Amino acid sequence: MVKEVEKAGFPVVILCNLIPVARSVGANKIVPTISIPYPLGDPATSKEEQYKLRRHRVEVALDALTEDIKEQTVFKVKI
C-alpha cells in the first residue's frame, strides 16, 4: 500500500514492527514500532511511558518526512 502512496508522489513513512517485510515490499522510509498488536505503546507500561514512546516514534517519523534520502532507510529511534 505504502508503495502506491509514494508512487502517487506523497512523501510517506511506514511505521511497523517487521522491518524485513517493509524492506521487501519496497518501502523507502521506515520507522520501527515495538510490536505487531501494539505498535506505539506497550500496555505493560504506564500510560505516561506509552505516550512518551509514541510521541518519540511519531516525531522521528515526522522528521523522516523531511529527509532527502537517496536509498531505503530505517530511521533510528531512542525509545
11 binds other proteins (CB under 8 A): yes
The answer to whether 62 touches 15, Cβ cutoff 8 Å, is no
DSSP state of 40: T
Query: Is residue 14 exposed (0-12), middle (13-18) or buried (19+ Cβ within 10 Å)?
Result: buried
What are residue 73's phi and psi, to 5 degrees?
A: -135, 135
Output the smallest distance, CB 63 to other proteins, in A. Answer: 8
46 binds other proteins (CB under 8 A): no
75 binds other proteins (CB under 8 A): no
> Among residues 37 and 76, whose Cβ is nearest to other proteins?
37
Residues at the contact surface with other proteins, assessed by CB under 8 A: 1-26, 28-29, 32-33, 35-41, 43, 50-51, 54-55, 58-59, 61-63, 65-70, 72
